[in-house]
A and B are shown apart, each in its own frame.
Chain A
Amino acid sequence: DTTVKQNPRYKLARVGKPVNLICSQTMNHDTMYWYQKKPNQAPKLLLFYYDKILNREADTFEKFQSSRPNNSFCSLYIGSAGLEYSAMYLCASSRLGPSYEQYFGPGTRLTVL
């Protein structure tokens, strides 16, 4: 089973309110990723967990938080949503190493009003 699941699939949030997105995988992958995808743009890596070690991209360091309570689950947290956070959020997982494929979930479409 190469399924990555994401919840919710659609999220409506108010400006200034927190948002929490959930991802799960049952492939026992040690690495989980979060990407942001806006229309007509390339997916942008926000952060990834290798085991329990969080790696955040420099330009999104302060905007997103994440937690990984166990190997299967990973969350993406926005403390105070702004209009610019409206996007598709894609979760992926893989085994760590130089030559392992990333498997993507269906995404959560976040709309901030």
Chain B
Amino acid sequence: GQQVQQSPASLVLQEGENAELQCNFSSTATRLQWFYQHPGGRLVSLFYNPSGTKHTGRLTSTTVTNERRSSLHISSSQTTDSGTYFCAPNQGGSAKLIFGEGTKLTVSS
């Protein structure tokens, strides 16, 4: 089955620094989403990005499909970016998303 590795497991930054989160997965994916988990537990979809590069605000997601990897770049981090970020590719062509263990980001002022 699909195996997902996210790195780093945790990251501590000073406000204003950039963050680079990595996601590597073991088999072909036709879906891939990046999620942010609010402190209260809600999952918010940041990007649906099975291939290529997408931008929204200070966030950029790049997925290289044939290399089975994706990244999430956060520029000029803010304290409100603190939380856990999950990468979730699907398994083969199925509807099932496989979540990585997440990267816990802490941004201090």
Given A42-B86, A42-B102, A43-B86, A102–B97 Cβ distance below 8 Å? yes
> B70 in the interface, Cβ–Cβ < 8 Å?
no
Please tell me if the beta carbons of B41 and A99 are within 8 angstroms of each other in the complex.
Answer: no
| Interface contact B99-A101, CB-CB below 8 Å | no
**Are A45 and B44 in contact, CB atoms less than 8 angstroms apart?**
no
Q: Which residues of A contact B48 (CB under 8 A)?
A: 101
Once the chains are docked, how many angstroms separate the CA of A48 from the CA of B50? Answer: 21
The tally of residues in B whose CB lies under 8 Å from a CB in A reads: 22
Contact between chains at A48 and B95 (CB < 8 Å): yes
Name the one of B30, B41, B45, B100 contacting A37, with C-beta atoms under 8 angstroms. B41
Compute how far the CA of A99 lies from the CA of B30 in the bound complex, rounded to whole angstroms.
6
- Tell me if A31 counts as interface (CB < 8 A to partner B): yes
In Å, the complex CA distance between A48 and B94 comes to 11
Chain A contacts of B102 at CB under 8 A?
42
Is B31 within 8 A of A90, CB to CB?
A: no
Taken together as a complex, chains A and B put the C-alpha atoms of A42 and B97 apart, in Å, by 11
Contact indicator B97/A45 (Cβ below 8 Å): yes
- Can you show 17 pairs from A to B with CB atoms below 8 A apart? A37-B41, A37-B43, A42-B99, A42-B100, A42-B101, A43-B86, A48-B96, A98-B30, A99-B30, A99-B50, A101-B45, A102-B97, A103-B45, A104-B43, A104-B44, A104-B45, A107-B43
Sorted nearest first, the 10 A-B pairs with minimum C-beta distance are: A42-B99, A101-B48, A98-B30, A88-B41, A104-B43, A98-B93, A106-B42, A43-B99, A42-B101, A107-B41
